[in-house]
Every structure is written in structure tokens, then in C-alpha cells.
Amino acid sequence: MVRALDGVDLDVWSGEMVAIVGPSGSGKTTLINLLSCLDAPDAGTLTVAGRGVTDLGEEALTEVRRGRIGFVFQKFHLLPALTVAENVELPQLFLRQSIDRAHTLEVLRTVGLEQRAAHLPRELSGGQMQRVAVARALITRPAILIADEPTGNLDRANGEALFALFRRLIDRDGLAVVVTTHNFHLAEQADRIITLEDGRIIRQEQRRRIGTGNVTGD
């Protein structure tokens, strides 16, 4: 039997950026999926915003994710026929929330793309498309932002700009940000670096003292 994660004990706090690093196959994606409530652990406990979710069914897990967790991926996953604003508003449609275009523009202003609201994805650069993906993750006002290799398709300048955006969001809104990356230069901008190897945490480096409240742990 292969253990994707083995004895991992981790707390993530609001107002904190945690970078998870490690070689391919080290368990990064599995850990991200658990913290996102996309997968359930086989053993142990998982708590999100003070609520135990270990034994919840899929419908209940969906309720936990709804509005609490925003997702950013390596691939932008923008729908080409929709405008920037419409792509950002998709999570609200899925959640059957009312659309407030003023709020959409406010979120786009946060990522520096308010003037691109009516543009189509093909009219944007790679860095701009990833910022649209971040705006889409923020539209439901989540407490936790999960980013899985978000700079994998970006050049160095755009990758650094994206991490700087994460930092501004943390400082402004107290978000908890968990990001996986193979880029150690970017990982050093996090408050804490978690190194995984063979499903175990082999090192934790605290780079900045933070924390206002526990958001999620495994």
C-alpha cells in the first residue's frame, strides 16, 4: 500500500501564506485536495474554520467549500466565449448567488483588470488570465485561497507579480493562502515553507510570525 500522506500534522492560519514544496510525487496535490475538502482523509482529522469535516458526506463538504474556499490552478480554465467579467462571475452562477456587477468590477479592480472586464480571454496575456482566475476565486469572498502551481504557466515577472498580489490580499483581507510551487524563489515570499517528501513533512521554515485564527488543519 502506498501512503500519499503519512502522519502529516499541519495548521494554517488566517493572515498567513503557506508555501508547500517538494518533488513530484511528494504528496503536495493530495495535501492540497484534503485542505480544499475535495478529498477526505482515510485517517486522522480535518477541521476547516472550526468545523470538523472528516466524516462529512459530499453534500456537506460542498457546503463547507461554498463561499469559504477559493481555488486557483496552474491552468487558467477560462471559458473563451465569456468576457472577463462573466468568467469571474461563474462561481456565483454555480452557487445560485445573485450577480452584482459592481462587486465584480471591484474584485477586478483588486487584481488590476477593471478596464478589461468586457474583453475576451484571447485578448489577454498569460499573466492577465491568471489574475482573472484569482478574481474568479475571490468573487465569493472566501476565507481561504488554495493555489496549486499557479505560476507554472507564467514567466518570472508575472509569477512574482502574482505572489505580490497574494501578499496584498493577505494584508488587506486576512486571507489564508496555501500555495504549491516548484519555484523556491517564490516560495521564500511565503510566511512559512512546508517541505514534503514521500508523503511526510520533512521540514518547516517559519519566515514571518503571523496568525489571527486557525482556518484549516490536517
For 152-204, write each residue's pLDDT tens digit. 888 889 899 999 999 999 999 999 999 999 899 999 999 999 999 988 899 99
**Residue 74 forms part of a structural domain:** no
Contacts with 171 (C-beta within 8 Å, 6 or more apart), sequence order: none
Q: Assess whether 104 and 168 both reside in one domain.
A: no
Q: Assess whether 87 and 32 both reside in one domain.
A: no
State pLDDT tens for residues 65-101.
776 889 998 888 999 999 999 999 999 988 888 999 9
Q: Assess whether 64 and 160 both reside in one domain.
A: yes
Q: Assess whether 51 and 105 both reside in one domain.
A: no
Whether 218 and 13 have beta carbons less than 8 Å apart is answered as no
Q: Assess whether 57 and 147 both reside in one domain.
A: yes
Q: Assess whether 64 and 146 both reside in one domain.
A: yes
State pLDDT tens for residues 10-53.
888 999 999 999 988 888 888 888 888 887 777 778 888 777 87
Q: Looking at 92, 122, 141, which one is the last position of a domain?
A: 141
Cell of 165: 498580489
Residue in the block written with cell 499541519: 10
Q: Which of 201, 159, 166 is nearest to 20 (CA)?
A: 201
* Angstrom distance (rounded) from CA 32 to CA 132: 21
Q: Looking at 141, 170, 185, which one is the last position of a domain?
A: 141
Q: Looking at 94, 112, 141, which one is the last position of a domain?
A: 141
Buried b (16+ CB within 10 A) or exposed e, 6-29: eebebebbbbbbbbbbbeeebbbb
